Structure 1
């Protein structure tokens, strides 16, 4: 069935912005989406992956390697030509074992032939695409920690059962969950690049429009997709231009000072907040077609980059987003 068009999603602007920023710069570290059930979290992620143009891979390669860098493939790779393939979108189930995620020895082949061959896991399948984890707050902590390590390094290393395999695993990690069912440990949540809070739309007009569009998509997926193809193409071109501009995007010292002052004012521990805020501002500025990062870009992405890094203050019951907005008003009035 055809995916729901990204541009046809009603509202949820902050979530869509975070996904677009991650698409421009996957090195930001993924997106954590917390919110109510049935608010389009997985729909938006799948729609963005389907929107992106196909990638070139080496035919027969189980690691999704690019033809431009064949030496990165751990092999054995029987590729003879380059073929087009849709951008990977991999769902990681809650019951997944570490072997299934990382990869392991192909036992069937080992028993049949006596040869030790590595069977790639979900991380290899997600290479150059998206790895999506629904209800990530219910996933075992050691698996979440492992996934964040690989997402940050872009490489998966497996040392077990006499095997020593190293392969590329560059993907955008997207986690979603409902806070009512449990929260991630702060140490793990801090390692996500961006964090989004989604809520059920309150406006009646939005809720009615959502029903209309879902009904139209269910009745004629192909026709509905065609109707939104031009809008999706605009978003695709915006992402492509942003990716090209990113490496040339300059961040003035004054903006770096702004980032440090804001993180200090909100009490963010460590330097991960400043670094992520800077990278997110660069990606956002590139997405907007700017020549350099300005304060307005930094402040626009500050809630995304910082809200999940704030320490709880027993004397301040206001939410993390409100605390960031208050700090922005005080620092940059």
Structure 2
């Protein structure tokens, strides 16, 4: 079964026409997962889920401990389940294997138990053991959790997802029994604005917000349709055509991940980012932090060493547009507003 799902052909990321804003947001989050995920809003049929699924093909395989439901990292205790830590203390022999970076699709009707996992109370009481059935958050550890139509999901469930994504841990409590396991994943949500927005306090917890619009230019639309037809006719041949570009992008991402921690950003640039957030009345400090991290991830991706105002300009709209207070009477696009203030503060 598993082998079959792994072989399902995935549209190559580098063959996707347009949607640069979304592609950039996803790549930056893969370089630095602490950016806090991406919310993608756009019309129906604009390829949102195609692009997200294509992203997984770019990620390098990860080392895990065999038969562990949490994808425990053999080298990092922060990313290990309690069971594995216990086995390491007892100096048990553990088999390490490599798997594809996990990507978990959250079904719209999922219950909290399905997402977080369940504790078998009867077994716990009768046998005195913590009988835990892991959920989707355990499967998504060290990978990507994708929620399509996130704006139609129950607010409480969105809260649970965002909490886990921010803390890197999932805690399940039932009848005085508590289980905690690592759940570090990149949260990607997508939705159609016509079906309603997320509550502002939930929206603010997503690191970046990409908007996708239907391509208007006829020649580009034709190219997109042709690409899709070629892929469906012969997926393997189509993927082979983009293999070199895919490998190049994958290597760039791997290099950028290593380089990221050495990227510097000058104090005066940080001060200007904060000034922009302040002038836009952005609540809290999340906007300042995400803009700084995303700028550094961009510099790492482009294989440079220091953040420039141009880097900040490239990412700041994606980091702040969803954090502005909505004025129902205002017709100006929030992204345009962010750019306006940026130009004023930076004399750009």
TM-score by length of 1: 0.95
Cα shift readout 1:173-198 (whole Å, capped 9, x = no counterpart): 00000010011000100010000110
Q: Which residue number corresponds to residue 177 of structure 1?
A: 191
Q: Which residue number corresponds to residue 264 of structure 2?
A: 250
Q: Which residue number corresponds to residue 156 of structure 1?
A: 170
- Distance change in 2, residues 1:54/1:112 (3 Å): farther
| Deviates most, 158-167 or 283-292 | 158-167
The Cα of 1:134 is off from its aligned counterpart by 0.5
- Kindly indicate whether the alpha-carbon contact (under 8 Å) linking 2:168 and 2:182 is maintained by their aligned counterparts in 1: yes
In 1, distance between residues paired with 2:94 and 2:162? 33
- Distance change in 2, residues 1:213/1:109 (3 Å): farther
DSSP 3-state at the match of 1:60:
coil
Aligned residue runs from structure 1 range 74-89, under 5 A: 74-75=82-83, 80-89=94-103
Q: Which residue number corresponds to residue 73 of structure 1?
A: 81
Q: Which residue number corresponds to residue 198 of structure 1?
A: 212
- Given the alignment of the two structures, is residue 41 of structure 1 paired with residue 48 of structure 2, yes or no? yes
- Distance change in 2, residues 1:7/1:82 (3 Å): same
- Given the alignment of the two structures, is residue 226 of structure 1 paired with residue 240 of structure 2, yes or no? yes
- Kindly indicate whether the alpha-carbon contact (under 8 Å) linking 1:118 and 1:163 is maintained by their aligned counterparts in 2: no
TM-score by length of 2: 0.91
The Cα of 1:79 is off from its aligned counterpart by 7.4
DSSP 3-state at the match of 1:11:
coil
In 2, distance between residues paired with 1:70 and 1:274? 30
- Kindly indicate whether the alpha-carbon contact (under 8 Å) linking 1:52 and 1:87 is maintained by their aligned counterparts in 2: yes
In 1, distance between residues paired with 2:225 and 2:31? 30
In 1, distance between residues paired with 2:265 and 2:170? 31
The Cα of 1:271 is off from its aligned counterpart by 1.3
- Of 157, 160, 164, 1:146 maps to 160
The Cα of 1:116 is off from its aligned counterpart by 4.1
- Given the alignment of the two structures, is residue 126 of structure 1 paired with residue 126 of structure 2, yes or no? no
Q: Which residue number corresponds to residue 261 of structure 1?
A: 275
Superposed CA RMSD in Å reads 2.0
- Kindly indicate whether the alpha-carbon contact (under 8 Å) linking 2:260 and 2:296 is maintained by their aligned counterparts in 1: yes
- Given the alignment of the two structures, is residue 5 of structure 1 paired with residue 12 of structure 2, yes or no? yes
In 2, distance between residues paired with 1:68 and 1:198? 39
- Of 317, 320, 335, 1:306 maps to 320
The Cα of 1:161 is off from its aligned counterpart by 3.8
DSSP 3-state at the match of 1:278:
helix
In 2, distance between residues paired with 1:155 and 1:52? 22
In 2, distance between residues paired with 1:109 and 1:224? 51
In 1, distance between residues paired with 2:261 and 2:344? 32
- Kindly indicate whether the alpha-carbon contact (under 8 Å) linking 1:74 and 1:165 is maintained by their aligned counterparts in 2: no
Unaligned runs of 5+ residues in structure 1 are none
In 2, distance between residues paired with 1:227 and 1:111? 58
- Kindly indicate whether the alpha-carbon contact (under 8 Å) linking 1:60 and 1:79 is maintained by their aligned counterparts in 2: no
